Amino acid sequence: MSRVGKKIINIPAGVQVTLGSGEIKAKGPKGELQVIVPMEIACQLENNVLSFSRSDDEKSVRALHGMTRAMVANAIEGVTNGFQKQLQIEGVGYRAELRKTNLLLTIGYSHPILFIPPPGITFEVPAPTQILIKGIDRHLVGEVAAKVRRFRRPEPYKGKGIRYAGEYIRRKAGKSAGK
């Protein structure tokens, strides 16, 4: 049995979970998400407790068991609290600012970069060198954070670029002095 898949999910107050044919919908104070459930995985909702079971022990079905449970748990967590990723910008003159709902990055190129967020994602810029990416879909928040980071990855010599908060960048030594 999958260690993750056999855990139950306690549904918090204020969240409605609806089981449909091949999908689970979670509706909460932050919004609504739906997760597609494979046919091999069965869901049971009893007394605000959601549990998952699988039809057989094939390797592919075992892999789907834990993944489906984790995706539904993330959807329930997203509609109650939401998710966020924090990015830091390092470098002289590198900064971010908010233009309405869009993110304007000045990160050392000849032109500023305007990033338009997908629906369901909001940006906050508490300081010119910090970006907060917020949303209810964990996958989408992580994907947008990765796209923003990809504009200027941290380089190993001076550490300039966009990095996740708390990310360690392994530094390399530069050229040594002449003889």
| Band (1; pLDDT cuts 50, 70, 90) | low
Same-domain status, 15 and 68:
yes
Residue 76 and residue 88 in one domain: no
Q: Are residues 89 and 160 in the same domain?
A: yes
Give yes or no: residues 93 and 157 share one domain: yes
Place of tokens 């689970």: 24
One domain, residues 15 and 41: yes
Inform me whether the pLDDT recorded for 179 exceeds 80.
no
Average predicted confidence (pLDDT) for the chain: 93
Q: What is each CA distance from 90 to 24, 98, 161, 174, in whole angstroms?
A: 41, 18, 5, 18
Residues 74 and 105 in one domain: no
76-122: pLDDT as tens digits: 999 999 999 999 999 999 999 999 999 999 999 999 999 999 999 99
Amino acid at 88: Q
Q: What is the CATH number of the domain that holds 90?
A: 3.90.930.12
Domain end marker among 80, 115, 143 = 80
pLDDT of residue 173: 87
Domain boundary among 27, 50, 80: 80
What distance in Å separates the CA atoms of residue 170 and residue 162, rounded to the nearest whole number? 14
Confidence of residue 174 (pLDDT cuts 50, 70, 90): confident
User: Residue 105 belongs to what domain range?
Assistant: 83-164
- Of 117, 28, 25, the C-alpha closest to 71 is 25
Q: What is the pLDDT of residues 129-166, one digit of tens each?
A: 999 999 999 999 999 999 999 999 999 999 899 999 99
Look at residues 50, 80, 110 and tell me which one is the last residue of a structural domain.
Answer: 80
Structural domains of the chain, count = 2
* Whether residue 68 is found in the same domain as residue 125: no
Question: Does 73 have pLDDT greater than 70?
Answer: yes
Which of 167, 146, 68, 148 minimizes the C-alpha distance to 102? 148
> What is the pTM assigned to this prediction?
0.89
Q: Work out the percent of the chain whose per-residue pLDDT is above 90.
A: 84
Same domain, 21 and 47: yes
**Secondary-structure breakdown of the chain: helix, strand, coil percentages, each rounded to the nearest 5:** 20, 40, 40
How would residue 36 be classed by pLDDT, with cut points 50, 70 and 90?
very high
60 or 114: which carries more pLDDT confidence? Answer: 114
